[in-house]
Structure 1
Amino acid sequence: MTATKKTAAALYIIEHFDNALTTILICNNVVNLSCSSIATVLCMNLFGDAGSAIATGATTFLVLTFGEIVPKCLAKEHCDAFSLKTAGLLRVLMTLLTPLVWIFTRFKMIALKIAGSSGDAPSVTENELKYIVESIEEEGVLEESESEMVRSALDFDETTAEEI
């Protein structure tokens, strides 16, 4: 896949983030449950009644380590490269799983409606954004003047014309 196609796939995923997330969750659950089921059958055959406990411990460790923690740490550390490398596969999975994604999205909307939520809450609140800016300033990613500019922009909507 060319760099242009990888970029286009990554942009598509960003624009359809909810569908991408649902696709990832579906795949993640299918893989995790399949691993657990297969490990349980194998361990029960090898170790008898103790096999269930052994399979539970082993799959929990393996799934957490190699299916959750390590991939997320690598993706965070190398986000641009990781995004471009995985965008094509995720885009294909999104297309293949469209019917399932549609069903789960409808269930989500019904559940949110029953819970009295619209699902339109911002992913990051203003206070969280201010905390993020403060944190990355402390890490040296932003200069003090840059973080002050961001904080000023966030506070600007609270400024009245009279104060200017």
Structure 2
Amino acid sequence: MAEDLQVPYGASKGEIYKALFPQLQALTDGEPDLIANMANIASALREAFGFFWVGFYRVEGDRLVLGPFQGPPACTRIMYGKGVCGTAWKGGHTLIVPDVEKFPGHIACSSLSRSEIVVPVRNNGLVTAVLDVDSDRLDHFDEIDAFYLEKICALVR
């Protein structure tokens, strides 16, 4: 696959995800390197949607460690059950946070982040990483994002 994304800018969010998903499948198919796949997925999501921050945190023992990302510098380590990312890891399910200021224990890596979605990445049933996407707008994420980001996270292996 060519590394140039074909993104239908101006289309609905769902249509953009529908166009992006098979391209991400092609980009990750046959690539065994986890970090390379995470890097390309983060880059493609930021390019397609203009999210403020997109990246992965990898499970390393009792904490999440910063992995490939796109956006401003981020927190490097997050403890299990702490912040939105640690809470999504602990609960094992996607978290949508419409206003990060109202999330108990939110870890502010950037004061510009206003809303967030975190999706666990599973391998053999275990959460091995999380995909974290931040927006500089309130209430940016919804069930459409959750549905497609969960499908995209299934590509991370």
Would you call these one fold, judging by a TM-score over 0.5? Answer: no
Q: Name which one, 1 or 2, has greater alpha-carbon Rg.
A: 1
- Select the structure that is richer in helix: 1
Q: Which has the higher contact order (CA 8 A, sep 6+)?
A: 1
- Select the structure that is richer in strand: 2
